[in-house]
Chains A and B, each alone.
Chain A
Amino acid sequence: MGAVSAVDINKILEKAKYASAVFSQLDQEQTDRIVRAVYEAGFNNRIKLAKQSFEETGRGRWEDKVIKNVVATQLVYENIKDLKTVGVISDDTKSGITEIAQPIGPVLALTPLTNPVATVMFKTLIALKTRNPIIISPHPKAVACSIEAARICYEAALKEDAPEDCIKWIDAPSLDLVQAFAGHKDLALVLATGSANLVKAVRGAQTPSIGVNFGNVPVFVEKSADPAFVVEQILISKTFDNGMVCSSEQAIVAEKTISDKVIEELKQQNCHFLSKEEIKAVEKIAIDPSGGMNDGIVGRSALDIAKMAGIEVPEETKVLIAPLKGVGPDHPLSSEILAPILAFYTASNFEYAVKLCMDLNYHGGIGHTASLFSNDEEKIMEFASMMNAGRILVNTPSSQGAVGALYNTLDPSFTLGCGTAGKNITTDNITAKHLLNIQRIARRRISGRLEHFDQNQYFDQTLDAKEIEKKFNLNY
């Protein structure tokens, strides 16, 4: 396709609009047949696409990308297959409300470097399930694998008589292009999972968007937790695809009474604690001069990062741990880093630990995810109420936990709503239900109280709220 011009954008969206029009005629059965075919095609190509994604991006682990592809296809399909997305989805005689699901129109899907293929397949499935055409705008460093995933999905959809152009893609993505799409009148929604610049670029556009915010996930190890289990779970998450999931743990905050045991377990399970000098060396390569994460280390292994930083660590090292005393710009490794690097804090008590977690949460990760290990329900509730996070994960590896379906019953998703803190309308794990316009037929049901209440009394200035309520509720 080459560089995409304004004329091309018009053409792409025109075709997507036609696809949207044709889609509107499909019933639930036809829609579900298409979704089933696309799921199967994506699932059957899970290994090929994982390897291609690894080869193209050079990041993460292909074996973990297979698991991501399984979540994005099989588990997402399981989650949405029985969802009613066409026509009447609920009908309540008592309230007189009937709900009808309507498609929203063409969706622009920005997909990230960290989960390119899985995000394409996930967004395609939820878009098709809701009869919406989708336009994939892949990360510039993961174009080929993303387009291959989209192409596989499209071919499978067409075989089941899906509308032509129901899946489209851009092969020369750019910030300008995304902005131009997002400002186009024919686009219905942007599903923005991508770099901070891209997410920001679409926020100001006239088209509504759902964009994933930065994460900076604190994991609090409360004193009632089981240290061996905690460390095992955190490592399952932090080593998964070399820590590239945005909901992966960024800092461990351990209460003092349990901290030594946690440190001991981390060491036993092949984590390397960085010295002060090593922390400085890692900071230089992990954080760029502007204070943001250095793209070059995203998804690299702990050994690769150690080599890049010029420090020696044992061959079996899984994660680099940086013991820190504070949070913020003076402590660069307290920021989000999508690689196997973890900050570590010892907190003298529960209150101090919660405050540290709040600092981490507010240091670039509000709205996203927080995690804790605890067997004390009261402490879990207290911790949760202090965090500004859409997901509070309990006794769970946070990479896999936030994505849903594997360790809990959250909807499986590769787009994690971050609430108003992340300039989103929801903290939900985004799924098919978010790509529908719900019409409500509201039948006449007059309130019995209102009917028997003399409404002239509203014009009597001498009657205050209490008196009106009393009369309004008389004999009710």
Chain B
Amino acid sequence: MVRFIVEDSGAGSKNLVCNFSGRMDTASCSECENELFEKVTELKAPVIFDMQEVDYVSSAFLRICLKLLKTVGTESFSLVNVHPNVKKVFKIAGFDRQITIS
């Protein structure tokens, strides 16, 4: 459901890249939420959600994004490789004003 990669972002700093896949429904979100926040707390690095392989996001996933936004702040959280239909979800929810989505 999610693979975590710590990548070097240059100048000695790191990013936590989370590669999600499939349907991010309530069940899969609850499976990965704890681990995700443990990693975030441990690394204290900017977080990137790679959404290349995600075709559905649930309310639970939106909640994770909001929680993460509060934890790491706008500057340190972004979503990349977002499919248009998923990007539309973030647009309708108004998240695009707080999170960088590409």
B30-70: contact bitstring with A at CB < 8 Å (1 yes, 0 no)? 00000000000000000000000000111110100000000
Binds A, one of B3-11, B12-20, B74-82, B89-97: B89-97
- Other CB < 8 Å A-B pairs besides A24-B88, A164-B26, 7 of them? A21-B89, A21-B92, A22-B89, A24-B85, A25-B56, A105-B92, A164-B59
A133-165: contact bitstring with B at CB < 8 Å (1 yes, 0 no)? 000000000000000000000000000010111
A17 B92 Cβ-Cβ under 8 A: yes
A98-113: contact bitstring with B at CB < 8 Å (1 yes, 0 no)? 0000000100000000
A22 B94 Cβ-Cβ under 8 A: no
A18 B25 Cβ-Cβ under 8 A: no
Given A17-B94, A161-B25, the answer on whether A25 and B89 have CB atoms closer than 8 Å is yes
CB distance from B91 to the nearest CB of A (A): 8
Interface size on A, residues (CB 8 A): 13
A22 B59 Cβ-Cβ under 8 A: yes
User: In the assembled complex, which residues on chain A have CB atoms less than 8 Å from the CB atom of B91?
Assistant: 21
Q: Give the interface SS of chain B, mostly helix, strand, loop or mixed.
A: helix
CB distance from B20 to the nearest CB of A (A): 15
CB distance from B88 to the nearest CB of A (A): 6
Within 8 A of B (CB), among A1-51: 17-22, 24-25
Residue of B with least CB distance to A164: B59
Pick the contact of A21 from B25, B26, B93 — CB < 8 Å?
A: B93
Of the A-B pairs whose beta carbons lie under 8 Å apart in the complex, a sample of 5, sorted by A's number, is A17-B92, A21-B88, A22-B57, A163-B59, A164-B59
User: In the assembled complex, which residues on chain B have CB atoms less than 8 Å from the CB atom of A25?
Assistant: 56-57, 85-86, 89
Residue of A with least CB distance to B91: A21
State in angstroms the CA–CA spacing of A161 and B57 once bound together: 12
Interface size on B, residues (CB 8 A): 17
State in angstroms the CA–CA spacing of A25 and B60 once bound together: 14
Pick the contact of A17 from B56, B57, B86, B93 — CB < 8 Å?
A: B93
CB < 8 Å A-B pair total? 39
CB distance from B89 to the nearest CB of A (A): 4
User: In the assembled complex, which residues on chain A have CB atoms less than 8 Å from the CB atom of B88?
Assistant: 21, 24
Q: Which of A19, A22, A163 has the most CB of B within 10 A?
A: A22
User: In the assembled complex, which residues on chain A have CB atoms less than 8 Å from the CB atom of B92?
Assistant: 17, 20-21, 24, 105
User: In the assembled complex, which residues on chain B have CB atoms less than 8 Å from the CB atom of A17?
Assistant: 92-94
User: In the assembled complex, which residues on chain B have CB atoms less than 8 Å from the CB atom of A19?
Assistant: 59
User: In the assembled complex, which residues on chain A have CB atoms less than 8 Å from the CB atom of B56?
Assistant: 25
User: In the assembled complex, which residues on chain B have CB atoms less than 8 Å from the CB atom of A24?
Assistant: 85, 88-89, 92
State in angstroms the CA–CA spacing of A300 and B91 once bound together: 50
User: In the assembled complex, which residues on chain B have CB atoms less than 8 Å from the CB atom of A161?
Assistant: 25
State in angstroms the CA–CA spacing of A161 and B92 once bound together: 19
Residue of A with least CB distance to B94: A17
CB distance from B70 to the nearest CB of A (A): 14
Residue of A with least CB distance to B56: A25
User: In the assembled complex, which residues on chain B have CB atoms less than 8 Å from the CB atom of A21?
Assistant: 62, 88-93
Residue of B with least CB distance to A25: B56
B60 A164 Cβ-Cβ under 8 A: yes
Sorted nearest first, the 8 A-B pairs with minimum C-beta distance are A21-B93, A21-B92, A164-B59, A21-B89, A18-B93, A18-B62, A22-B59, A25-B56
A66-106: contact bitstring with B at CB < 8 Å (1 yes, 0 no)? 00000000000000000000000000000000000000010
User: In the assembled complex, which residues on chain B have CB atoms less than 8 Å from the CB atom of A164?
Assistant: 26, 58-60
State in angstroms the CA–CA spacing of A17 and B94 once bound together: 8
CB distance from B73 to the nearest CB of A (A): 19
User: In the assembled complex, which residues on chain A have CB atoms less than 8 Å from the CB atom of B90?
Assistant: 21
A165 B57 Cβ-Cβ under 8 A: no
Q: Which of A17, A18, A19 has the most CB of B within 10 A?
A: A18
CB distance from B42 to the nearest CB of A (A): 28
State in angstroms the CA–CA spacing of A20 and B88 once bound together: 11
Residue of B with least CB distance to A105: B92
B85 A22 Cβ-Cβ under 8 A: no
CB distance from B27 to the nearest CB of A (A): 10
State in angstroms the CA–CA spacing of A446 and B89 once bound together: 36
State in angstroms the CA–CA spacing of A150 and B26 once bound together: 22
Given A24-B92, A161-B25, the answer on whether A18 and B59 have CB atoms closer than 8 Å is yes
Residue of A with least CB distance to B25: A161
User: In the assembled complex, which residues on chain B have CB atoms less than 8 Å from the CB atom of A105?
Assistant: 92
Q: Which of A17, A19, A20, A25 has the most CB of B within 10 A?
A: A25
User: In the assembled complex, which residues on chain A have CB atoms less than 8 Å from the CB atom of B60?
Assistant: 164
CB distance from A29 to the nearest CB of B (A): 14
CB distance from B82 to the nearest CB of A (A): 13
B58 A163 Cβ-Cβ under 8 A: yes
CB distance from B79 to the nearest CB of A (A): 14
CB distance from B72 to the nearest CB of A (A): 20
State in angstroms the CA–CA spacing of A45 and B58 once bound together: 29
State in angstroms the CA–CA spacing of A164 and B61 once bound together: 11
Residue of B with least CB distance to A166: B59
State in angstroms the CA–CA spacing of A105 and B57 once bound together: 18
Residue of A with least CB distance to B92: A21
